[in-house]
Amino acid sequence: MKVLVTGSNGMLGIDLCALLELEGHTVIRTDLNIREGLAIPQWLPLDITDTDAVTAIIDTHKPDFVVHGAAATDVDGCERNPDMAYRVNGLGTWNIAAVCGARDIPLVYISTDFVFDGTKTVPYTEFDKTNPISHYGGSKLAGEKFVSELCHKRFIVRTAWLYGINGNSFPAKILELAKTRTELSVVTDEIGSPTHTLDLARTIILMIDSPLYGTYHVVNAGQCSRYELAKITLELAGVKSMKINTMCASQYSSPTKRPAYSVLRRYMLELQNRDNLPTWQAALQEFINLR
Ligand SMILES: NC(=O)c1ccc[n+]([C@@H]2O[C@H](COP(=O)([O-])OP(=O)(O)OC[C@H]3O[C@@H](n4cnc5c(N)ncnc54)[C@H](OP(=O)(O)O)[C@@H]3O)[C@@H](O)[C@H]2O)c1
């Protein structure tokens, strides 16, 4: 299959494109910028907010399938500049969805746990009500709505707390800080579903050629706080030189309100008997081994 990927030079995009090629697919990589220091195979520049450019690239390459991973992912940047967030995550996704819908090209849109408000105390299913409390979450939800309205053949894939070897993720930052610091305070009252980009990419690839369109939660199994994630990251990496202290989210300085509890349940995959994602601890170990 010929698969066009947006955001191909991002943390998820790099892993996804490499896996797609390993599986024998032809990949059209598209992104806004090159990432310094990374050797990325041939890719095409594409700004998803440019309607004509999106139409032209899809009509030129005629992909069998599109994975739309490009997004403005700096949550605080989106909070400070909501117009930018809605332009990239809303309008940009509208552009992709409109062309895929009109050409009947199946589309995977990567969305987020930030579409929920975090007031639940048990994991969110695909049937729970969305209610974003940040502009990042609101703009990604706008993207979901455009995809639902414009594309019949669509997968909306909500994921969370992503990390991968080609990105500046939370576990990567913890390991980096441990090189120079002896103590760090991390929040205990933010609970989520840490997810390895490789496991997400493996699940996305199963969607290619599948007719089971819909909204799916795709995260590693289990849940933890940021504090637990930091502690286990150091433990699995065998790092003993940095002590992790606890703090509350209210003590953490950020312009963005984050959901206090955004654990996702892979309910659609469970109902289909296809839920076999590894635990977050096993996935984290794989990430550490690959570093
Ligand atoms: N990271 C997480 O924890 C997380 C959690 C839930 C969902 N997600 C979703 O998962 C997807 C992948 O996330 P990621 O962490 O891999 O993000 P990432 O590393 O930031 O990759 C996103 C890519 O999109 C590009 N991009 C930004 N604006 C664009 C534009 N106007 N046109 C074309 N490309 C543009 C970025 O380029 P620049 O870097 O040059 O801006 C970047 O290469 C995103 O849709 C994100 O919303 C992420």
Domain range list for the chain = 2-168+193-221+262-279
Give 108 Cα–ligand 1 centroid separation in angstroms.
14
pLDDT, residue 37, reads: 80
Give 183 Cα–ligand 1 centroid separation in angstroms.
30
* CA pair distance 3, 21, nearest whole angstrom: 10
What lines the ligand 1 site, CB under 6 Å? 6-7, 9-13, 31-33, 46-49, 69-73, 88, 92, 110, 112, 140, 159-162, 167
Q: Which of 124, 136, 216, 227 is flagged as catalytic?
A: 136
* CA pair distance 174, 140, nearest whole angstrom: 27
- The minimum-distance atom of ligand 1 relative to the CA of 49 is 31
- pLDDT less than 50: residues of the chain: none
CB neighbour burial string for 136-158, b if at least 16 within 10 angstroms, e if fewer: bbbbbbbbbebbeebbeebbbbb
pTM for this entry: 0.98
Find, among 64, 249, 48, 269, the residue nearest to 157 by Cα.
269
pLDDT, residue 57, reads: 98
* CA pair distance 257, 120, nearest whole angstrom: 16
Check if CATH label 3.60.10.10 holds for domain 2-168+193-221+262-279. Answer: no
The three-state secondary structure class of 16 is helix
pLDDT, residue 36, reads: 79
Catalytic (active site) residue 213: no
